[in-house]
A and B are shown apart, each in its own frame.
Chain A
């Protein structure tokens, strides 16, 4: 895949955290899953845990890199994983240059937003009960 450029490949064993909620977004800003599965999670004040899984060919870490610069979920390798990782600038360059990469990102973000919208709806329903 030609968009895997200007970044680096990393290997992460199952069970390792890539980053934790409240970490600053560093040089390893955006991850593309070459192999394996990652779980994004956040323990919420009510005791509920939000989870979202990212599989092969998925991208994660984008939202914090583009918005606050601070992680709001923890990312943990569910299996042994291989990632391609960019810093923010290289990621934006890849987005600008490769239309297929842009589409993949927009699809992943749309999917993530649908999942979070459902969580928002669930918590509202629970609260009004």
Chain B
């Protein structure tokens, strides 16, 4: 299922490890300034967190602001979702090693916690809430995206019904 073999993970520094332990055992949205100073990043509106087809593998948790997930280029952009604080993104490439399937762009000023593979592996092993959060997040996205597929085919069927045969 994954695109390539797992690379060996560099262990995090002591300071980062301390922050990761705090993250693992705190509520998912709780982020102290100490944790943010180790793991946080801020993006301004319009800045790109990651691009479709990138090979980056970082995983992001939104602490503040909103992030747009879209596919395609500027002329042909299709918006897939707008994500809010508490939501996790970038998990697909993080876990299956395929390139990014979409582009993430800051809609407002955005604060995120950024996890490398090694960092996230540590907190993922420590606390099951992350497991459930990720599975729930993916399930909700599959469900809502499939809803859009259904809606699209309903519109397509209606458009086909209006188009005279042979035109």
Contact between chains at A99 and B156 (CB < 8 Å): no
Docked Cα-Cα span, A116 to B80, in Å, equals 11
Which of chain B's residues have a CB closer than 8 A to the CB of A127?
152, 155-156, 159
Contact between chains at A102 and B78 (CB < 8 Å): no
Contact between chains at A96 and B128 (CB < 8 Å): yes
Q: Tell yes or no: A8 within 8 A of B by CB.
A: no
The DSSP consensus for interface residues of chain B is helix
Q: Say how far B44's CB is from chain A's closest CB, in angstroms.
A: 27
Q: Tell yes or no: B25 within 8 A of A by CB.
A: no
Docked Cα-Cα span, A45 to B153, in Å, equals 6
Contact between chains at B95 and A45 (CB < 8 Å): no
Q: Say how far B116's CB is from chain A's closest CB, in angstroms.
A: 16
A46's partner among B1, B102, B132, B157 (CB-CB below 8 A) is B157
Binds B, one of A10-18, A75-83, A104-112: A104-112
The DSSP consensus for interface residues of chain A is helix
Q: Tell yes or no: B82 within 8 A of A by CB.
A: no
Binds A, one of B16-24, B34-42, B136-144: B136-144
Which of chain B's residues have a CB closer than 8 A to the CB of A108?
1
Give the A-B contact count at a CB cut-off of 8 A: 121
A interface residue count range (under 10 / 10 to 19 / 20 to 34 / 35 or more): 35 or more
Which of chain B's residues have a CB closer than 8 A to the CB of A114?
92, 98, 101
Binary per-residue interface labels of chain B (52-73) against chain A in the complex, 1 for a CB within 8 Å, 0 otherwise: 0000000000000000000110
Q: Say how far B32's CB is from chain A's closest CB, in angstroms.
A: 26
Q: Tell yes or no: B131 within 8 A of A by CB.
A: yes
Contact between chains at B132 and A96 (CB < 8 Å): yes
- A residues contacting B by CB (< 8 A) are 42, 44-48, 50, 58, 62-64, 66-68, 72, 92, 95-97, 99, 102-114, 116-117, 119-121, 123-124, 126-127
Q: Which 7 A-B pairs have the closest CB atoms?
A: A123-B152, A44-B153, A96-B128, A109-B138, A110-B92, A66-B139, A102-B131
- B residues contacting A by CB (< 8 A) are 1-2, 71-72, 78, 80, 91-92, 95-96, 98, 101-102, 124-125, 128, 131-132, 134-136, 138-143, 145-146, 148-150, 152-157, 159-160
